Every structure is written in structure tokens, then in C-alpha cells.
Amino acid sequence: MALDTTSRSDLAIDGMTCAACANRIQRRLGKLDSVAEAQVNFATGRATVTHDGTVNDALLTAEVEALGYAVIEETQTDEAEDRREADLLKRLVVGLVLTIPAMAISMVPALRFDGWEWLVAALASPVILWSGWPFHRAAWMNLRHGSTTMDTLVSMGSLSALVWSAVVLLGDIGDGHIYFETGAVIVTLILLGKWFELRAKRRSGDAIRALADLGARTARLTDGTEIELDDLAVSMHFVVRPGEKIATDGVIVEGRSAVDASMVTGEPVPVEVSPGDEVIGATINANGSLVVEATKVGSDTALAQIIRLVDQAQGSRAEVQRLADRVASVFVPVAILIAVITLSVWLLLGNPAGSAFTAAVAVLIIACPCALGLATPLGIMVGTGRAAQLGVIIKGGEILEDTRSIDAVVVDKTGTITEGAMTLTDVLDAGLPADDRSRVHVLAASVESLSEHPIAQAVAVSVEPKLDVADFQNIPGSGVRGTVDGTAIGVGRRSLFDAVPAEVEAMAAQAEAKGATVVFAGRNGLAELVFVVADRIKPTSKAAISALHDQGLSVTLLTGDNKLTAQAVAAEVGIGTRPGDEVIAEVYPDDKAAVISRLQAAGKRVAMVGDGINDAPALAQADLGIAVGTGTDVAIEASDLTIVSGDLRAVADAIALSRRTLSTIKGNLFWAFAYNTAAIPLAAFGVLNPMIAAGAMGMSSVFVVSNSLRLRSFAGYRHTS
């Protein structure tokens, strides 16, 4: 259905027991008129529905509840999980207490006595009926709606064991063998696996919960008043003492200190801050006392946005999940059919009814596709959570897959490889009178003060005071123009001027040969001054380029600076040491996306790293857009990955972790498929009995969860270099 989707609804769903439940809810919601897409994630217990705004949450809730599930408030999710875990543990304990003696009596002849079968029946029946009640209830609900899930298999297997054994015991038919203990063991082992699974799933969400707990609860205003964080408003000034958390995003107005931002940015080293520097809420003030002016509060803060993006990413679906979804949707009916065929064939071949029944039950139990349903969403959940802890925001599961084929990284220079804090180091002229030189400098600084470009700001702060500017023009990629005191003044590249005298050109060339950046300034279309500015290379950029090379990626430096400056920077950080590396200089902002397109046309899969507004088209064009979080909101919005810090090594971390996560998901899916593919024939041929099948099914889910949790140990280049 093609809709202009403008609205999104998020529902927390309680009561899902497997991936088939999620698929059933997803299909139901997706069939609603005005719904463009519905995604239901079993691992996170959440439904995300995009629609045209005519669908409300009440209607969506009614549809979910009609299927037998509950929609709960977001704030109640932890409470619901606690209740579910407590109930599961209670049923598991009862199962263990009753199943162990039932199994011992059934399997150890020395423990048997006259009428032992009746005691085993009395011990096993509560386990099958009461401990296994969640499976039976879910199976009945699904059957009412004409569908089957993993619970159907567990319920059919355990109840079949109970009913068959009761018939044998009461009617004295068949070979006289009873399977009460088999049904009890099936329920108990699967409950044990579900309990381990639930505990591990809660651990997989620790990252997002830890982020949510980072924030301060109160703020202390400059007059000494302590207020709740919800009462803090933009422009309020608050005090941060040594060792305290910074209450919200803001700008320092008084004091100097070092701020530990590792919990948000992933940077292990505290950053020195002083008046005028921006700080992020929830980071820790290390030593000095600070006065901070709040600039963002509530849902607008960096931490709140990170939590929201990670939450959305954890609920997303990778493309590889579609195959798992298709398999899971047909797996249960096929498993039931195989069980029926197994029973029929064994009986037709003249085998005892008890043996035929045992093989059929084993097929039902071993076929539970729980591990298959968990394989992808848990990998995404743990991977994106760990990324957030490292200061990397991955916008969705599909982004993880895009990193698989990336073979080239294009890196913007200013603000990415370099600090982006340009400093005016020299002002050159070709013999201008002192008064004219000073006049042009003031006029140029006045015009540059209206531009946000780092080079413009370096010129703007070099003189005070500024003059009023009229007719200001920003010519992308060339510079700025304006009228000051009736004089037309321009500052920018050579192309901005009608004439550049040879001696002025020569001075600029000498400065560029040393790796500096130059801009021209002059009146009435004539270049008269050369501003020499320098941008310090970040100390971590060389290690970052080396890390990208280690991952088999070629690196292209893309900049609007002149070739000499670009080549000098590239040489210092190691770009050009690997085949495929390039330096592309003097590129206008509008042409950056064209450069990406050219590389893609040459057969490369390109990741673009940038931080400015002029990088947004290139970020969107790239196969993988990576925004440096210290940059603009426009660049971040256009990207697929966001690096909260300004450390380029985080880009290497992001790519490495994305690849590791995708590899983990593929490993999960392989073992889930391999497990079912190999185990069902073994069960059908009688090699696996139902008890072993139940244990193996539970352990397959535990394996998938444990394998996903290994992603929590990913350290990254910043913590190992």
C-alpha cells in the first residue's frame, strides 16, 4: 500500500512467547487500512506502526488485544517483565520439584513399587497442566485464530504424553509403557530454557537501560535552589560541582574543568572545558566548579535523542530477518505435518504404538523455532546497545548489513580529520598602506562574522569591533560578499574575485606550499589581502586511518581546500599509503555528492564521513552515511550512523562493530537452521527421544542468546590502541 506516511505509533506488547506471535500481530496490524508498514519485534516486545495519521493507538491496541495479547504503558514494561519472570520461576520450581522424583522412579527400576505408575501420574500431571499452562493457553488462543506457534508444539507434545499415558494406564492398551515423566520433563526443560532466555534477554537490554539511568535527577541553580530536572528550563543557569553530573545540555558561562563524557561519547579521556564550550547532560564534571547555561532540556537533549535512536534501532529489522520470518511462519504447520507422517509411517511399518508415539512427540518438541525467531532481533539489540555505550548510534538493522560490502571510506577534512577550529596565523599583503591594510582587515572580519564556516570565524575573531554589514551574500564554495560603510568587500577563494594581482597570488602559493589554508580579501572585486589560517589535525586521526586500512578499506580525503593543503594533511595522517587511497581537493559543496556518485559508478561501495551542512547531500548519496556528532543536525539527520564524539577512530569502531554484529546474526541463523534441519530427521527416525529433544530445543535458544551477548565485550580501537 503506497501511503504518504506521516505518523508513527509505538506499542509495548505483553504476552508474546515466540517469533510466530510477533509475526501474527505484524500481519494483523499490516492489513489495516491507512497502515503503510507494521513491524513487531519479539526480542524488544514492541510494535512500530507507520501510517497516514488516521489510525490511532486505541484502534491498534484493540487489534492487538483481539489476538489475545496486551498493550501496556511504556513505563510498565519493566514491571511486566518482573511479573513474567516471577511467574516463570514459580512454575519452573514446581516443575523441578515434581519432575525429578517422577523421572527417577520411571527410569530407575530399583525405586519402583507396586502402583508406582499412579504416583508418577500424580507427580507429572500438575507439571504438565499447571506449570505448562502458559503454553496450553497460548496454543488455544492461537488455534482460535487459525494459527500455530511454538507453544502449539510444546502443548501438543506434553498433552499427548499425558493423554496417551492416561489411556495406557486406565485402559491397559498398547505396550504398557507410560510417558508421564516425558511430558513433565518436556515442560520443565522448556521452562528452564525460557527462564535462561528471559534473563539473558533482559541483560541484552542493559545498555539502553544504563543510558536512561545516566541522567541527573536534580539541578542546583546559581542562587542555591535545588530543583527537579523536569523543572529546569532553557536559559537557566545551574552550578555543577566537582564529581557531579551535568544536569542537561548547555554552554559553560563560568569556570574551567575536565569533563568525563565517556558514558555518552565512548571517549576514555576527559576533555578540558572553559567558558563558551558546550557540554552534554549526564557527563561528569571531574574537578573544577562550573556554571552552565541550559540550552536543551527534556527530550531535546543529546542523551534523550541517543536513547530514542537506539530504541528505534533495536526495534528495526535487518533484511536477513525476512528469510527467518518466512521460515518461522510456515515452520510450525510443517512440523505438525512431519509429526503426523512420522506417527503414521512408524505404525504402518508395524512398530509398537508407544515407539511411534515417542518419535512423533520428539519431532514436535525438537521443531520449536524459538532460536530462529531470536537470532536476528537479539543480535541487533545487543549490537546497537553496545554501540551506544561506545558513542555510536546505528539507526537500524539494515544499516548493519550495509557495512558488509563497504570497501571505500570518503572522509571530509575540516572538523573530521582536523579539529575544525581554524586559527588565523598570518595576514599577507603586497605593499598596501597600513591604513588600507587595517581597513580591509576590519571590513573582511565584519563580513565573515555573519558566516558560520570555521575559516570565516577564524578571521572574524581576529579584530574588534565589527561594523554593520548590508547586502550579505554567502556563495557556496567560493566565499562571502557584503557592503560595509558603502564599500563592497569580498572574502573567499580566488574565483570570488575579478582580479588577483600576481604578487598576491605568489604569497598565497607560498603559504599553501607549507600546508596552510589561504583565503583572499579585497574591495570591489580586487584581491588585496591573504589570510593564512591553520587547522590542527586531531591527534587520533592517524590511528583512525590506520584502523580503517586494517579493515581492508581504502580512504579518500575530500575537501574544498587547495590541493597542496589537502595533500599535506593526507600525508600526515597516512592517506595514500594503501592502494585505492585518493586525495580530492577544491571540491565545491554541491559537487561532493557527485564525487560519491563517481566512486559508486566505478564499482565501489562507499561510506561517507562528514560533519557539516554541506556534507548532507554526500552523506545521503553514500551507501553508508556517517555523521560526526559534533557537527550539524542536518548532517546527522542525513546519515545512517552517528558518531557522538569527534574522534575519527569511532568510525572504525562503528564499522567493525556493525560487521561483528552482522556476523553474529548470521552465526545465530546458521545454527538455528542447522539445528532444526539436522534434529528433525533424527527425531523422526527415533534417534532422539522427547526428553533429549526438549533439552536440546531449550539449549539452542540459550546458545543464540549467549552468542549475541558476546557482542557486549567488543572494545573497539579507542580502548585498545
Side chain identity at residue 196, one-letter code: F
Cell (9 digits) for 274: 572553559
SS3 of residue 630 by DSSP: coil
Sequence length of the chain is: 721
* Burial state string for 630-648 with b = 16 or more CB within 10 A and e = fewer than 16: bbbebbbebbbbbbbbbbb
Cell (9 digits) for 470: 548590508
Side chain identity at residue 251, one-letter code: V
Whether 412 is a known active-site residue: answer yes
Cα–Cα distance between 665 and 247 in angstroms, integer?
Answer: 37
Cα–Cα distance between 354 and 317 in angstroms, integer?
Answer: 44
SS3 of residue 669 by DSSP: helix
Report CA-CA distances (Å) from 39 to 85, 315, 318, 549, 581.
25, 8, 11, 37, 40
Per the CB < 8 A criterion, the answer to whether 267 and 261 are in contact is yes
Cell (9 digits) for 102: 517422577
Q: What is the 3-state secondary structure (H, E, C) of 287-336?
A: CCCEEEEECCCHHHCHHHHHHHHHHHHHCCCCCHHHHHHHHHHHHHHHHH
Per the CB < 8 A criterion, the answer to whether 203 and 709 are in contact is yes
Helices marked H in 1-76: 19-30, 57-66
Cα–Cα distance between 299 and 306 in angstroms, integer?
Answer: 10
Angle at 538 between CA 533 and CA 542, to 5 degrees: 120
Smallest CA-to-CA distance from 610 within 651, 576, 652 is with 651
Cα–Cα distance between 663 and 224 in angstroms, integer?
Answer: 53
Quote the distance between the C-alpha of residue 256 and its chain's center: 34
CA count, 13 A, side-chain hemisphere, 558: 31
Q: Where on the phi/psi map is residue 98: left (φ > 0), alpha (ψ -120 to 50), or beta?
A: alpha
Phi/psi at 583 (5° precision): -125, 115
Contacts of 607 (CB under 8 A, 6+ apart): 403, 406, 408, 409, 410, 553, 622, 623, 624, 625, 626, 655
Q: What is the 3-state secondary structure (H, E, C) of 184-222?
A: HHHHHHHHHHHHHHHHHHHHHCHHHHHHHHHCCCEEEEC
CB atoms within 10 A of CB 235: 9
Give the active site residue among 412, 429, 591, 647: 412
SS3 of residue 501 by DSSP: coil
> To 10 degrees, what angle do helices 206-214 and 180-204 make?
40
Task: Give catalytic residues, as residue numbers.
Answer: 412
